[in-house]
Chain A
Amino acid sequence: MRQTRIISSPRRLEQGQVHLAAAHLHYRQLNALVREAVARGAKHLRLSGVNGQRYLADGLRGDIHLEIEGVPGNDLAAFMDGPCVQVRGNAQDGIGNTMNAGRVVVHGDAGDVVGYGMRGGAIYIRGHAGYRVGIHMKEYGLSRPAIVVGGRTGAFLGEYMAGGLILVLGLGAGERPLVGDFCGTGLHGGLIVIRGQLDRDHLSPHVQAAEAGPGDRDLIGPYLEEFCAHFQLPVGPLAADRYWVLRPASARPYAGKYAL
């Protein structure tokens, strides 16, 4: 295994920022270095040359900022509880799996299975996401997770959703539909909000769709603002646009199925 190189150059970096050069490091080593730096009090970490290392920021807690340059591997920010992770590029599958709090901001596209079982915090994706996004998201009290996808998503969006918010903006989607098939199957809590046109063919019978009212707009407003702040976009046109809100048709989509 290669030697690690830890560079801190006070001239170029913010105070207290730790720079880890990730090139050629196995994920186990890289993650151990991140934890070590955090244990020693680092609040800002910059990982450069990341090339598919998995499990970055998994189980990380606290008020920490992680800048990732390159493409992180699968399962980024799984079980994460508080930190803010910025990905300067595309990301892969399994982002924010069972994430509890914090932010993941992807300045590019994301893969499949974003935010599985998410419990809190928010994931902002500038580009497109794959399929199985937001499955079984949940919420309780003030803990309400959100996934905002700038582009489009694939099939099975928000399956088994029990809480939280998914917002799909469809920027750069062109003629393609914003969501794929089987959207909201088993939806029994939470909301899915889709900008612009709605193709009801893609929706599961478990959802009911209605145009966003003023209450809904108030709800998504802060998320649009944060999205635009992260990616330097004007919020005006997005806020004024037309939105469809998908809600559960029933809290018990499978009631009546059993002979009790």
Chain B
Amino acid sequence: MIRSYLPPRFQVQRDEGRCIRCRVCENQCSFQAQHYDEEDDRLVAQEANCVGCHRCEALCPTGALRISPGASAYREHANWTDREIRNLNRQAETGGVLLSGMGSDRPYPIYWDHLLLDASQVTNPAIDPLREPMELRTYLGRRPDALELAPDGRLATALEPQLTLELPVMFSAISYGAINLNVCRALAQAAVTLDTYCNTGEGGLHQSLYGYGPHTIVQVASGRFGVHLDYLEAAAAIEIKIGQGAKPGIGGHLPGEKVNEAISHTRMIPVGSDALSPAPQHDIYSIEDLRLLIYALKEATTYAKPVGVKIAAVHNCAAIASGIARAGADFIAIDGFRGGTGAAPTMIRDNVGIPIEFALAAVDSRLREEGIRNQVSLVVGGGIRCSADVVKAIALGADACYIATAALIAIGCTLCQQCPTGKCAWGIATNDPLLARRVNPELAAERLVNLLGGWALEIREMLGGMGINAIESLRGNRLRLRAIGLGDRELDILGVLPAGQ
């Protein structure tokens, strides 16, 4: 063990006048940063252990705690920042790969914040969503090239299976193992209440959640964890995972610490062993191989449900998406580089992949140019933060959005990024039974329903403001967007005009 030279990252300020020695901070901190001294009858902080999750602060009944950035600061340096110094020290101490949880926190530009929405005035009246119904319903799946009507006016063309969502947002893939069963249940329950879908991620579907199957998209990833016929048959749709925004090009790794008996059973691997999802799916080495897997799944499920593919947003995702559409996928999920994760090498998380805004625009444009946009639905995710991001994404061409980080924040996550340790004090990214019970599925589901309920109301307001009463009218309607502070090339790729024009 090499001793660390680093000062504490956070400071714990306790107002002694307000502390009532209830020891809630001590029993809630899973990182051993709070300790009660019997002899002195006071709470003492071990600041070196504090990870800045704010659990203690949130639960302190008298508001006696303040968690803030460490009091100790290195001399200001724009190149060798605090972060860089810390990372270098950690590597000097351990010789290992730096690991982080959740999505990239680097200050890259956020293109949602450079896009503004239209509103109607005078020539095209706005619609009041309180007066008129607003259609947020969304269908995901393959659309035919043309529609034929029978003489009696009914639809003659047979449609491919579709998913029906009552609002254009779904819960993105979060694996059982990265989070615990209580959180999985909360997401599933909220998906039912909201009439949308959640996604199993690569951890399989726990036996007790099969009842939520009709609102669940199951993932088939490279580790094939929990993939069997019952799993495929219970699902509303199947998603083949090729990549993930937080770690494009590399595999998944659930540390052995998080593989307990229940995880071992669901994933069919030995207790305590690392759950490895290999980098590529080793049975998919070409687009033709991907087609094979798509159709093997369709055959195995008798073509009853949509089968889609999830990719990370990378340089040539437009071409990749085109190939995937032609390979038979019914939907394509694109995960931008801001996407979250339970664990990813820090260097990969922060430096690999492209923003979802560009990936979305490029894929949507390419598919339209090739005349195959109708063959797949596009679902995008990777740092979608609010309803405005959703509306902008749809205007850029998405059919729906995937959220995961936003959902976990709604449940209590404060992005302390300690997920790989399995010690989440909020009880979310951990399978430790002592901590996992901190998420009551009923309460968490209510928070999720509130979140998306609020978003649905806001989306209706924004649509109404634009004089639109159906989300379908906004889809790919880039004319309703204007950009500020972007260069010509960026405007070109996004297909958006600058504000003022």
Chain A interface (Cβ within 8 Å of chain B)? 27-28, 31, 35, 54-55, 58-59, 61, 74-75, 78-79, 81, 94, 97-98, 100, 113, 116-117, 119, 132, 135-136, 138-140, 143, 156, 159-160, 162-163, 186, 188-189, 251-260
Contact = CB atoms under 8 A, between A and B. Distances in A.
A140 B268 CA distance: 5
A28 B295 CA distance: 10
Contact of A97 (B229, B272, B296): B296
Given A119-B228, A186-B276, A189-B273, A136 B282 contact: yes
A163 B268 contact: yes
B227 A117 contact: yes
A18 B91 CA distance: 65
Contacts of B295: 54-55, 75
Contacts of A136: 222-224, 276, 278, 282
Nearest to A145: B268
A258 B273 contact: no
A144 to B, nearest CB: 10
B250 to A, nearest CB: 12
Contacts of A58: 296, 299-300
Contact of B283 (A35, A97, A255): A97
Contacts of B253: 254
B94 A259 contact: yes
Given A55-B295, A251-B256, A188 B276 contact: yes
A257 to B, nearest CB: 6
Binding site secondary structure of chain A = loop
Contacts of B268: 119, 138-140, 143, 162-163
B98 interface: yes
A189 B269 contact: yes
Contact of A59 (B90, B276, B283, B300): B300
B199 to A, nearest CB: 19
Contacts of A256: 96
A143 B295 CA distance: 26
Given A117-B224, A260-B421, A132 B96 contact: no
Interface string B209-246: 00000000000101111011100100000000000000
Contacts of A186: 276, 278
Given A35-B302, A135-B283, A79 B232 contact: yes
Contacts of A188: 269-270, 273-274, 276
Nearest 3 A/B pairs, CB to CB: A59-B300, A117-B224, A259-B96
